[in-house]
A and B are shown apart, each in its own frame.
Chain A
Amino acid sequence: MPNNRPLTPDELQAFGAELDQLRQHTVATLGERDARYIRRIRSSVRLTELAGRIMLFAGFFPPTFILGVVLLGISKIVNNMELGHNVMHGQFDFMHDPEFAGNTYEWNHACPADFWRYTHNYEHHTYTNILGKDKDLGYGLVRLFPEQRWQPGFLLQPLYALLLAILFQYGVAIQHLKMNRLFNGKMGKAEFGERFRPFLRKLGQVSARDYLIFPLLAGPHCVAVLCGNLLANLIRNLWTWVIIFCGHFTKDAEVFPQSVLENESRAHWYLRQLRGSSNLKGSKLFHILSGNLSHQIEHHLFPDIPANRYAEMAIAVRRICAKYGQHYNTGRFSVQFGSVLWRIFRYALPNFGATQPSRPQPA
């Protein structure tokens, strides 16, 4: 259990005020540097995609095929995480450039951007780690915390987790379809149809691109291009799954009952975001490849501030956490991901009558 000092109401307010101040200070200095950053990311996404696709057009010749798969995979990863995810949060809306407008941006992913803006920007970021509210908590397939009710179906969850990882982009896309509500009769067929059509359109678009148009363009090397695209998508799916699971399901991450939402102040909200998120240590390249979700804590405190600022904000956030005796959940990738895997295997099983760890609610 992380060691968090309980805060008095005054301390909690001061804690929130310091984070607000950090936010204002950063927002006031947004400009040229951040615009240049996101354009460089955009350019690297496009150029790695172009290079990857050209390599794959050379067929199964191993050096070019492997390099092509890796480049295309990296392009998709950065497209989804550092470019698409961050732009859709409105982080670069301050530029007023239509190319980086958060509410119209569309990404290279099976999930329609409008779905994502709802399930991720609204549901996940508002109700982070709240049981029954945050659908990202195991995506309805995996039990990760003892507070979640055990059912026999969870015994096979290591297998479900693997399948979710392999098919992650589709898993994310169908989240907004809310199929459980269709099955239990809470959603009519008409409403489901309205959700299903844009999903099908987007799925058709990204699939046609990777599995039809580019293979056909490659002529004699169509099988190589098809396999290469399949592998690049697989790399992207596995990597994004790993990073996202490391963001909220590590050993020291906490979940909360819905009751915390009653009269939750902004300072409370900050505290919940802090306790529900976890960071990963790594190099600058690692941070970019993780879409700066390696700074998950800073991202959840300030989801609409450009991600390239999180590294410098993290220094101040750590200082504030230390000052108020709050645990700052960070660690090496191997340690954090190891603890996620442990949770997947451990909570496949029931709690065995062990007393549930009592989790103090924020403040």
Chain B
Amino acid sequence: MSAPSAVAVPRNRWLDALVDEATFDFYARWLSPQLRWRRVICKVEKIVPVASDMLAFSLKPNRNWQGFRPGQHLQVYAEINGVRHSRSYSLTNIQSADGQIEFAVKQVPGGLLSNWLHQQVRVGDYLEVGQAFGDASLPSSDPLLLIAGGSGITPVMSWLHMLASEQPRANVVLLQYARDAATLPFQNEIRALLQRMPNLRHIPLLTDVDGKAVEVFGAAQLDRLVPDAAQRAGFACGPASLTDAVRELWQSRQHRLALLTEAFTPPRMDSGTAAHAVTLRYSRSGQAQQGNSGSTLLQQAEQHGLKPASGCRMGICFSCVCKKESGTVHNLLSGETSAEPGEMIRLCVSTPVSDVTLDL
């Protein structure tokens, strides 16, 4: 996965001497609210509820937006009480002539940005976003099995729109999990897609009926609903509990075909090994603090009173990238351990293995 990259703007020495990006942006916003040198400012055109706890936003970006591919994410920025925050959301539509981009946001209890987006943003407001990033692309082979849990449906919607326009006869099974009927997202949109895709089978599954766990993903359920699952290219997206279960089943059955999984919740800590104490040094603020190997450097830096920039907190958005000056860290996503001095690491998915010095 690649970081959201800054656009290379052709630079001119004489122009630079006269005006820099901040100066240009300062005056440009008086001319037009969306005019900027490099930043992507979007106008909110439409806000539609797609589940009881989910809103879909349609935005019109400015000309700095470089487009996207189905399955990519974008960073959404918001300034809340003077502090700029960001979270990444999956794009749910495909590129169209009107240039609109869409993403959907599930309201998370206590979630800073999701609550702000749900409560504060109105049609006609302006939102800043980053360029699309990420390279989760759909397995190209037909037929497909798409497994989505909760807000994991969002990149799947983008792929379904792509299939509907490019290969409407594609053979696709969509297993869609949600807690209950009210929180099952995008039902109207999926009905419209079913009209256009004769070989799309949609199986909504509710995991929580009257407080009892029913219809949870499992081997028996899969065999009953999708007997030909082994012949399909699979993709699972959703909470780590779902994607882990799918991955384990695929591994135990040694299914030939590719399985892509994407978690929408932070990776779980490996509880197999006991955490040990380490010393964390923050060179910029001149502090040394007692830490441990059991939680991420982001969590620990925050506990130690620092305020490093952060975004998705699950290794997707690269907002928390920081220089590690020395020490060994474990990457929770890749499982790799690295000791290289001066490397750039994502604090939110890195745990210290030894004493670590960070440029914070």
A31-B81, A32-B82, A213-B14 known; A99+B309 contact, CB < 8 A: no
Q: How far, in whole Å, are A99 and B22 apart by their CA atoms in the complex?
A: 7
Spot the interface stretch: A34-42, A158-166, A255-263: A34-42
Which residues 106-151 of B have a CB within 8 angstroms of A? none
Q: Give A162 Cβ to nearest chain B Cβ, in Å.
A: 30
Among residues 84 to 122 in chain A, which have CB atoms less than 8 Å away from a CB atom of chain B? 93-97, 99, 106
CA distance A33 to B20 in the complex (A): 26
**Shortest Cβ gap from A320 to chain B (Å):** 21
- The interface size of chain B toward A, counting residues with CB under 8 Å, comes to 19
**B83: Cβ under 8 A from any A Cβ:** yes
Asked if A346 is at the interface of the complex by the 8 Å CB criterion, the answer is no
Interface of A is mostly: helix
Are A42 and B26 neighbours in the complex by a CB distance under 8 Å?
Answer: yes
CA distance A43 to B26 in the complex (A): 8
Min CB gap A265→B, angstroms: 13
Counting CB contacts under 8 A, is A335 at the interface?
no
CB–CB A96/B83 < 8 A: yes
0/1 interface trace, chain A 203-232, chain B, CB 8 Å (1 if under): 001001100010000000000000000000
Which residues of chain A in 175-210 are interfacial with respect to chain B, using CB atoms and an 8 Å cutoff?
A: 205, 208-209
How many of A's residues come within 8 Å of B, CB to CB?
23
CB distance from B83 to the nearest CB of A (A): 6
Asked if B82 contacts A209 (CB within 8 A), the reply is no
A46 at the interface (CB under 8 A from B): yes
Q: Min CB distance, B80 to chain A, in Å?
A: 9
**Complexed CA–CA distance, A106 and B25 (Å):** 16
- Beta-carbon contact of A31 and B83 below 8 Å: yes
B16 within 8 A of A: yes
Most buried by A among B27, B82, B85: B82
Q: List 14 A-B contacts (CB under 8 A).
A: A24-B305, A27-B305, A31-B83, A32-B82, A33-B82, A35-B79, A43-B26, A46-B23, A96-B84, A97-B79, A99-B22, A106-B20, A205-B16, A213-B14
A binding-site residues for B, Cβ under 8 Å? 24, 27, 30-36, 42-43, 46, 93-97, 99, 106, 205, 208-209, 213
Which 7 interchain pairs have the tightest Cβ spacing? A35-B82, A31-B82, A32-B82, A96-B84, A31-B81, A96-B309, A208-B17
Given contacts A32-B81, A35-B79, 13 further A-B contacts (CB under 8 A): A27-B305, A31-B81, A32-B82, A35-B82, A35-B83, A43-B26, A95-B83, A96-B309, A106-B20, A208-B14, A208-B17, A209-B18, A213-B14
